[in-house]
Structures are given as structure tokens and as C-alpha cells.
Amino acid sequence: SSVGGRTQTTYLWAQDAWRFAPRWQAVLGLRWEAWTAYDGYTGTASSAQTYARRRDAHASPKAALAYQWEPGTVLKAALGRAVRYPTVGELYGATSGGALSFINDPNLQPEVSWTGELSLEKDLASAGAGLARATLFHETTRDALYSQLVPGTSISRVQNVDKVRTWGLALAYSGPLPRLGRGL
């Protein structure tokens, strides 16, 4: 089989930060994207299927607010939108051979996510350590691009899933490892 196509994304990004009180800082941003998919085809030696040009555009706002709770401790809240457009392989990549076949979908929609998070960061440098952070996050994605095997087959396909919600807690530490005790 023969498959191919092209995608192109053009974008503009603007961001600025403001200190509006001694302990407060706000960051606002906006990303605008224009996406085009074109020259898509799938075929064999005897036949070919071509696909129409597609265009789409989205604006994705971002906002964050930080509060210096005490020296070395910052509380942050953030909210933003992200868009992921389908790739050439997801749109036009119908292939078969070997143990696995892949079915393309030239009508896939871009996935659109809204993400929010609340973080607490503690600078532990005064104690001879690094930086510790705890982040609670939530994301809702519409038309999620999800790859899976078709049940009972060896066929893989990417499809849009109506809605995916994710909650989580991330704990991170960067810096020297603490000593755990003598004799180690």
C-alpha cells in the first residue's frame, strides 16, 4: 500500500506577566493556531483514494496566578486550553502487513483540552536541599485522539473519544538526595 499527506500548523503566541501587589504575580497568554491538512491519499498499485484539504483554527488562552505565601514558599494556580491536531499518520496512514494493520481516519477532529492546576512550591535551599512541589491537577479533553486495537483483531485505529477526564496529584523534588542515615 501507499499512503501519504501533509499537515501544517502556523501559530502566534503572546504572553506577559504583571506584578500587581508586593506578593502577587499574574501571567496571561494566548496562542492562536491555524492548521491545514492536504495532499492526503491512500492506495495500492491498482487504486488510490485522495482526501480533500481541511483547515481549522483555534485560540487557546492561558492564565496563571502566583502568591508568595512566605519567603521560599509560593502558591500557584493555572488554567489553560490546548489543542492537538491529528497527525498525517492518524489521518492517512492505512497500512497492513506483518502482525498488525492500521486503519486511518481522514475525518478525525482535533482534541481540545482544558487543564487546571494548583501547586505549592517550597524552596528548601536554606536547609541545604532543593525544591519540593506538590501539584493537584484536572484535565478535561473533548474529542481525545485515542489509539487502540479493535477488539478480537490485530487491527489498530485512532479514533475520537467524546470526553476524557483526568485528576491527579504530582509530587516532585529536585536537589541533592537527603542522607538516610549512617552506614548506608
Question: What's the mean pLDDT when you consider all of the chain?
Answer: 90
162: left (phi over 0), alpha (psi -120 to 50) or beta: alpha
Does the pLDDT of residue 184 top 50, yes or no?
no
Q: Is the pTM of this model over 0.85?
A: no
Helix, strand, coil share (%) of the chain residues, nearest 5: 5, 70, 25
More confident residue, 45 or 146: 146
The Cα 82–Cα 141 span in angstroms is 9
Q: What is the tens place of the pLDDT at every residue in 126-158?
A: 766 789 999 999 999 999 999 888 888 888 889
Cell 502558591 -> residue: 75
Q: What is the tens place of the pLDDT at every residue in 95-115?
A: 766 677 888 889 999 999 999
